Amino acid sequence: MTDNDVAVLQRRLAEFAAARDWQPYHTPKNLAAALSVEAAELLEIFQWLTPEQAERVMDDPKSAHRVADEVADVLAYLLQFCGVLGVDPLAALAAKIDRNEVRFPARRRRGGAEGAEGGEEEGAGEGGEE
């Protein structure tokens, strides 16, 4: 097990919260709200960038640091949320990918490139589904 193992990170986050008596505030609703806020802060970095600027955001050390910090915040709240509800995030993701592979089978496009033709593929983070 490494220091970056999901279970180790979840334990560290739980210990951090417990040491500060934050558990009463770490309800599913509060953690979901905090996760949403942090995801919005990540989006804020990209809000007014062109697609080309967004692709180069990691080239600037200051913006790269901001992106990494917001990604860490999003992941921290997601892992805490999963811990409180007993959701295994990796198993949930694997099951979601399995369902999406059935729901959105790969098709060949003209020219040999693989992917969905004219339709949207659902990503792991895409919303709007049950």
Per-residue model confidence as pLDDT tens digits over 64-109:
999 999 999 999 999 999 999 999 999 999 999 999 999 999 987 7
Q: Which two tokens stand for residue 7?
A: 């279970």
CATH number at residue 64: 1.10.287.1080
**DSSP H or E segment with residue 115:** strand 114-115
Q: Is 114 helix (H, G, I), strand (E, B) or coil?
A: strand
Range of the domain at 53: 6-105
Q: Is residue 124 part of a domain?
A: no
Flag whether pLDDT at 115 surpasses 80: no
Residue 85 and residue 98: Cα distance in Å, rounded? 22
When pLDDT is averaged across residues 104-124 and rounded to a whole number, the result is 62
Flag whether pLDDT at 118 surpasses 80: no
15-61 tens-digit pLDDT: 999 999 999 999 999 999 999 999 999 999 999 999 999 999 999 99
Q: Residue 125: which pLDDT band, with cuts at 50, 70 and 90?
A: low
φ, ψ dihedrals at 33, nearest 5°: -65, -45
Q: Is residue 100 part of a domain?
A: yes
Q: Is residue 110 part of a domain?
A: no
Q: Is residue 31 part of a domain?
A: yes
When pLDDT is averaged across residues 102-130 and rounded to a whole number, the result is 62
Q: Is residue 86 part of a domain?
A: yes
32 contacts 74 by C-beta, under 8 angstroms? no
Calculate the alpha carbon distances from 67 to 36, 71, 109 in Å: 16, 6, 34
Write down the pTM of the prediction.
0.79
Q: Is residue 130 part of a domain?
A: no
Q: Is residue 19 part of a domain?
A: yes
Q: Is residue 93 part of a domain?
A: yes
Report the pLDDT value the prediction gives residue 100, as an integer from 0 to 100: 97
Count up the domains in the chain and report the number: 1
Flag whether pLDDT at 114 surpasses 90: no
Report the pLDDT value the prediction gives residue 4, as an integer from 0 to 100: 72
Report the pLDDT value the prediction gives residue 123, as an integer from 0 to 100: 55
